[in-house]
């Protein structure tokens, strides 16, 4: 390669790097826009509980029916409901909130599969996100608690991020309910037998969440927790 060829290649590489840096810089404004839209809409919603779970759960599935019932009972206790806005458990949560005539919010995410708005979200309370991390900030910032139904990687991500933020005192503690002892039992056993045994977490860290099987147990946990506090946004 001649010196001239080498200079040409270096100029092309530098041009590509500059384009990448420019694109990254402009992405900041898109991220800011998502934060602003989220803050503007959700700062006015009042006390809500987020319900997480699989987008693949069908309406005839017992967990779908249970999620709908939990959402309905939460609205009867004065809570609104926030979900990921899509099908499956998310749809069940919004449907139950709608049936209870409570606030029904959806925080949708652009995905190549599975995700689409469900019809049970209140008008003006459906937000679309491109960035998972912005969406997760909204869930934590504007929820007074999490109901975590059976789900996949996304559900696990949302659950463990919330537990980590509470454990590290980056946010105030709020109730987290895992629904389905049969589904979650193996994970709880693994936490005991591996993470606690290896000294990676403490026994008391498992107190950050409650394991239940029924809608009444789930809602009772929220009601008891907030008997001691005035309900307010988590910030």
Q: Tens of pLDDT along 44-56?
A: 899 999 999 999 9
pLDDT of the residue at 228: 76
Q: Is it the case that residue 189 has pLDDT exceeding 90?
A: yes
pLDDT range class, residue 78, cuts 50, 70, 90: very high
Q: Which of 108, 105, 180, 119 is nearest to 150 (CA)?
A: 180
Highest mean pLDDT, choosing among 12-26, 27-41, 220-234: 27-41
Q: Is it the case that residue 12 has pLDDT exceeding 80?
A: no
Tokens 């009867």 found at: 76
pTM of the predicted structure, to 2 decimals: 0.86
Label residue 119 exposed, middle or buried (CB < 10 Å: 0-12, 13-18, 19+).
exposed
pLDDT range class, residue 11, cuts 50, 70, 90: low
Residue pLDDT, tens place only, 134-162: 999 999 999 999 999 999 999 999 999 99
Both tokens of 57, joined, read 């759960």
pLDDT of the residue at 116: 74
Mean pLDDT value of segment 114-133? 89
Chain mean pLDDT for the chain: 90
């Amino acid at each position: 390669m001649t010196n001239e060829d080498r200079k040409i290649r270096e100029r092309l590489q530098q041009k590509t790097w500059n384009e990448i840096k420019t694109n990254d810089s402009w992405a900041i404004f898109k991220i800011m826009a998502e934060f602003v839209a989220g803050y503007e809409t959700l700062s006015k919603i009042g006390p809500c509980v987020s319900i997480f779970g699989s987008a693949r759960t069908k309406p005839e599935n017992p967990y779908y029916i249970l999620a709908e019932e939990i959402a309905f009972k939460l609205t009867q206790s004065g809570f609104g409901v926030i979900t990921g806005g899509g099908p499956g458990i998310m749809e069940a949560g919004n449907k139950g909130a709608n049936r209870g005539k409570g606030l029904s919010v959806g925080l949708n995410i652009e995905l190549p599969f599975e995700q689409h708005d469900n019809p049970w979200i209140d008008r003006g309370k459906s937000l679309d996100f491109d960035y998972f991390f912005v969406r997760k900030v909204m869930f934590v910032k504007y929820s007074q608690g999490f109901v975590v139904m059976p789900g996949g990687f996304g559900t696990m991500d949302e659950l463990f991020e919330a537990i980590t933020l509470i454990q590290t005192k980056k946010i105030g503690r709020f109730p987290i309910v895992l629904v389905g002892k049969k589904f979650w039992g193996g994970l709880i056993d693994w936490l005991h037998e591996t993470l606690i045994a290896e000294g990676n977490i403490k026994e008391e860290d498992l107190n950050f969440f409650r394991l239940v099987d029924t809608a009444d147990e789930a809602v009772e946990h929220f009601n008891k927790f907030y008997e001691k506090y005035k309900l307010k946004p988590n910030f």
